[in-house]
Structures are given as structure tokens and as C-alpha cells.
Structure 1
Amino acid sequence: MKREMKKWVAVLLVPLLLLMSLGSAPAHAESTLGIHVDGAILIDAESGKILYEENADTPLGIASMTKMMTEYLLFEAIEEGTITWDQEYKVNEYTYIVSQDRALSNVPLRRDGTYTIRELYEALAIYSANAATIAIAETIAGTETEFIKMMDAKAQELGLEDYKFVNSTGLNNANLHGMHPQGTGPKDENVMPAKSVAKLAYRLLKDYPEVLETTSIKTKKFREGTTDEIKMDNWNFMLPGFVYEYEGVDGLKTGTTEFAGHCFTGTAQRDGKRVIAVVMKAVDAKGVGSYKARFDATRALFDYGFSQFSEVEFVPAGYQFEDQKTVDVIKGKEKTASIAVKEPIRMLVKTSEKDLYVPELVLDESKLKDGTLQAPVKKDTVVGHVKLVKTEGTDYGYIDSDNPGSEVVVTDTVEKAGWFSLMMSAIGDFFAGVWKSATGFVKGLFN
């Protein structure tokens, strides 16, 4: 009887103990870097080399990190001359109503007011002002609905994956007071994986590095000296002088919504090295999201990048591969053309793994026919690129999957041979072929 009783007690206690142990586990498992995020990535801002990633391919809410795409399209429009910094925007009902919602990040806009693109951009980049962002989108595309089409097209051009844009700001459409862009749902929100967010930031810094001149501003007054004056404190609390300051931080974009959680795309530069980090839905060890959680996670990524990685020059300019220093040339004054690496290849790699990378020559078959060039061949003609191959261990690759490394080019011009030389060469080739056939025939007689 006692034995039977013990058996039933065990049957009842085991499930209970299991439930208790599950309940005590943290909501988010700790990663190898000790961060609690739904997605994260760290890259070298110069080469695009991925230094670390964690669930970086899963689409997640991006909140106001969306504004990096709006910034990219703004700088592009300025560059192309379709709009100017001094151009003025006249407030409409949509931007007025959104701007008055102080539960959102905003600078209040007057119903009858006009504002320059520059001051709207500063409000966007420093204060993440949402109505100012919509105003910029409308200036560029006419309507926010049309601007979303531009966002989609640019995302495709940049090679972003698994993205969805429903507005220019990153807000949940429910916050747009029923005036969300046509074709989108009333509760839709922008999504993108960490890898695509990092690629967007990478291209923004590559193509328009001047964005850092504004994202590094800690505090600025909007409409200073007027009755509309409002202090704009940057939401990037990792900037120097702020509560979570980190040496070298000068950008880039925070993001927070209930759906996306606490997100951040940060960039920092130290000793000539610049990295970009993305954290998505950051929480603490208890699973609670906060500003501190996202900046703590970013700090861990930055520390890892700056302490464990160093810039290494793997291939100098003018480097030639021992097993292929030339390519064959037909119809040229020379039979071959020397080839070499055009620019040096430098990138951040884990210091302890720098000896594991080996440069490999990859010839471009579209430029060569059967491995041969046809004269005339100009100096600096691209014939291939260098690929760095890691001989062992995990290699995350590049944020830009098409990044080929440094180009391999022809080092000297090879001019086309004159008609007489070509004729004599053809005759020589003909008799060489005849002789080869004849000797082959004679050998066949005695076999």
C-alpha cells in the first residue's frame, strides 16, 4: 500500500516540478555575448564584413529605424536636384494632426505653417519627429502612399530582403489617426530582418556619410527664438554626455513601438575602425524591454567588435598570384597581359583568426573567352576579383552578398597587332596545325 502511495505521489510531483522549473526560466535566452534580443548583427562599416549575427534573417518590427530609408531617399533627391534644403513645405491636415500628438515623438507644426526641408530633416534625424518625416515623404513623392512605392523600389535596388513598408515613419498605422497610406492596413507596421537593417545603414553611410553630421547632434532647438521653439534631445543616449554614452558613437537611429519593442541601429568609430550594430526587441535578463536594454545590448556588440577584431591588410595593391600572373591575349602585339590586384584588401577580422584567411583569384568568365582576352586590351581592364576564404570555422560573409573584394585588373595596355603580324601569326598557326596533324598521322602508322 505504501509503495503504491509513493508511486502516485511521484506521478503528481514530477509534472509540478517541471512547470516550476519552466516558470523560473528567463523569457529570452542569453546569447554568447550575454545580450537578450530577438535579432542582432554587427558589421565592419568599411568592408561590410559580418562580425557577429544572431537570428539576423528573421523579419521583425523596425519602428523608427525605418527613417533611415527616408533619409536615404532624401539625400538622393537632394543629390539629384529634385528638391533642395531650402525648399519649403506647407503643412496639411495630415501632418498637422499627427504633429499635435505628443504621445508620439514630434515637433508641433502650425496648421498654416511652412518649414524648410532642412529643419524638417533635423527634426527627423535628431528627435525622430514623425510628422516632419511624413512632410519630407510628401515633398519627395507627392503623397506618403507614393513614397512607400519609392521605399520598396529602393529596398529592392539595395538588395534588402524580407522587408515590408507601410509608412515612412515606422509608427504603427494605428497611430496615424485613420490617415495611413492607401493600400495598407489600419494596424500594419514596418518589418525587416536585422541583416537588411544593417545593409540599409551600411549603404546610407557609404553613399551619404554626411548623415552623421546631424545624427551626432545631441541637442538642438527647433525654431529657436520663436514662440514655436522646442528643445530636441537626441534619442540616441549613447552619444557623448548622455546617460549611456559610449566613446566614438555618432549615430544612427533608434526605434520603439509596442510591436517592435526597443530597437537601435548604432555606429561608432575608434582608432580608425567603424562598426555598425543592430539590436531588435532588446530586453533585460527578466524579459523587460527598455532604453537601457537596447543600449546595453549595443554596448556589448561594440565592445566585442573593438576588443576582439583588428583591421588586417590581406592583399596589397599590385599583388600578383603566383600561379597566375598573366592571362592569354589573342590578336595582340603581346601574347599575354599581366594582371594584379588593383586596391589593397583590408577588413576587420577576429584577431585570433587572421591567419585563417587565404586570398583566391576569381576570374570573370564574362570578360574572358575560354580564359583569354582579345586585343586591344586597355590598362585597368577588370578581369576578376579576389575572394578571401576562411580555411576553418564559421564565416558570416558580407552584409552585401555581392561584395567581391578588390578588383583584379590588367596592368599594361596590350595593343592590337597589325594586319601583317596577324596574317603571319595565322599562317604560323596553320602550319603548326598541319605539322601536328602530320606527326600525329605518322605516329599512328607505327602504333
Structure 2
Amino acid sequence: MDKLLREIPQVAKIIERFKGVYPEEVIKRAAREVTQEYRREIRNGLRDRTDTLLGDVEKRIRALLSTNLRKVVNATGIVINTNLGRAPLHREALEFVKEIGEGYSNLEYDLKKGERGSRNSHVEGILCELTGAEAALVVNNNAGAVYLVLNTLAAGKEVVVSRGELVEIGGSFRIPDIMKASGAVLREVGTTNKTKTRDYEEAISENTALLMKVHRSNFYMEGFVQEVNLEELSQLGKKYGVPTYYDAGSGLLINIREMGINSQEPSFGECLRKGIDVVSGSGDKLLGGPQAGIILGRRELLEKVKRNPMARALRIDKLTLAVLEKSLRLYLEGRYREIPVIRMLSQTEKELRGRARKLARMLRKLEVFETEVLKDMAKPGGGSIPEVELPTYCVAVKQKGMNPEELARRLRLCEPPVVGRIKRDVLLLDMRTVSDTELTDILRAFTSLL
């Protein structure tokens, strides 16, 4: 034991070994941590060699220098993967945010008038042009948008909503809780599986502030079901002079059916054309932009929302605004198919099969892994269009003597981490969410496991 302890070099000598390569403070911390661990393990009889110490110190240095937030290869097949950051951003949006972030900008300054301006003005006109809305407001996320709309238009009054739409999505976000926090009074109608127009109508009183409909987000119902559609809700609202509000959730700007996706998911514009007074949704789901809550609708109602003091607390920052504006301009220019989320959702089976075969060949050359190309189903994800599944191609990977859970765990610890999915006791790498350029990242990860 004493001999092993004497073999551990002094921290000062370790610092000299890596000085000039890494920051000295980081070297010092890594050296102290690793040498302490080695001494403890030697004294407890858990270590019988020290020749790996310098290598372990360098690994610790690299770990300390790496950021907590890291790029990940998403091979799960879930396009809008909330756990993995939702929508990847277009390269031009990233270039623009760098340009804006590096210096000053006209965030809240009107260059023509030479006076204070509104940050919302940079995207309001674009959103109105894309959707036909009279006015628009952007806040930090859609939960904030829902809160702001309810707090502004219904605080202290009733909001009528179907019992079958009182949803909970990721992070324990529950519509009833948001409604309570906003000061609005929930008036639920109908049953879990069936809500009719007359259920809404019978609930309307002089205390009714809004008729609300909520996107079900991460589940759908079929069979003996009925719901009030947007046109019916709009007509009812107009009949009684009660504003209507739809929490659309997914933030769709185009007709998704034109992409070959069989879904009745309405776009923002469709919601408004069907007569809904106010609609809100996310910026980082089907829209393919940054996290943001987008509120659209009638000018008189939106002006009230804008004047709410909480609008300042929920406003978006300049970097998010930059990414959102550039993303929206891709729609204006008719280039929305270049947006990563739209591109991934609209890939053909031929493209996916070709990519899967290429990756399978690359991995087979390592002569350790068994690979097979399989057809499967992927999901849009992100609480957007839960009823939709998309055909995809995956590479099934096996390593002799290793279970799929352990192989998946090791890939998650690679650089960059690779996250797949396990199905029927096999690790699958889904090509719908893997780009051509990421194939080399996956190969590098598998190579590091050898």
C-alpha cells in the first residue's frame, strides 16, 4: 500500500505536465480530485496500480471543461423531442442570432423616429401576414401565453372548457392549474369522451368571459367520442357575444396535409379563418423555431393582452426574437421546407432507407457490431400531432455479450452522445431524426467503444 501511495505524483508535477495545454486552475482541481480518489481507493484495497493516473487526470480536465448543455445525436425517431431540445434551428437563424448577440441592436429602438420602440414590432407584422391575424404578441412560451390570455380576458370570471381537454403535458403543466393561477374560474362541461355544443351553451352566463378549446397535445381519443369543433365554438361565441380562445399548442403555420401527413391539425391561419378570436401556440414545435409563445387574434383583444403588466415579465429576449424573426422569414420566402423540423417530417422512405443502409455498412466495417436495416414507425413528438405515426427506417445494432440497455448507456456517454431507442430487446437508431452529416458522429461514437 505504501509503495502505491508513494507512486502518486505531487499536484505541482501534474500541473507542469499539462501546463500550457489546459487552464491551470482546471488542471489543479482535476489533479487534486483524482489524486485524492486514488489514495482513497488504495487505502480501501480497491486499486493496485497507478500508471493510469495521468490519463484519468486528463479525462477529468476534459470533463470539467465540457459544458453541461451539449450537442446530442437524436436517433430516437421523435422529431420534436422535448427532452432533447425540441426543434433544431435553421443555419441562417443561428447566423443571425450570432450577428445580433455580438453587438447592439434596435431591439426596442425605432430607427426611423429615433425614439423608443417595441420589441414585438419586429415579428408582429410578419405573423399577421402569415396568418391573417389583426394583431400578434410573442412571449416566452405557450404556457406563458395561455396564462396571459386568461389573466387578461377572464380574471375573476368563468372560462368554459371541455372536460376532455383539461390536459396535463410534460413538466406537470396542467390547464386547470394555469387557469387557477391566472385568476380565471374553470367551468368544465361535457364528459371525458363526449362534449357537445349544447354543453357549452348551457354553461354560458353573465359571468362567462371566454369559451376555450385546448389542443390535447400528447394523446388522442377515438371510438365513441365527440368534440366541439372550431367553427361550432366560434358560432356559439358570436351568438352570445363571448370571445373564443383556442390553445393550439403546436404552432403550425402551414397546411400539414400538403406534406403528405394525414392530420386534421389546423394551422394558426385556419383557426382564425374559422372565426376563433384568439389563438396561441408554441414557436419550437411544428413551426420549427425557438421556444416562444405566439398569441394571435382580434386587435381589440390583443391590445388588452399587450397592456397586461405580466406581458413584460413573460416577454422574450433579443436572441430568441432574432431566431424567431429569421425562422418566420423563411416562411415568408416560401423556404419553410428548409427548416429542420419540416424537412425531417417530410422525408421520403427512399431517403430514410438509403441513409440507414449507409450507416449499417459503416458500422459493419468495425467488425464488432451486428447491424440490420428495419422498417418501423417514428413520431412527430413534442405534443404536436399525437395521432400521427410516420414510416421510417432504423439500423438495429447488437454487440455480442452486451445487452441493448448497456450499449445504449455507453453511447449516451460518448462524444457526442448518441441517443437511440430500444424496441423488442434491440437498440434502434432511427434515421428520421439523423442527418447525413451526423452519420460520421455515430461512427465515431461506436469506434470509441472498441
TM-score normalised by L of structure 1: 0.29
Normalized per residue, the structure richer in strand is 1
Which structure has the larger Rg?
A: 1
TM-score normalised by L of structure 2: 0.28
Normalized per residue, the structure richer in helix is 2
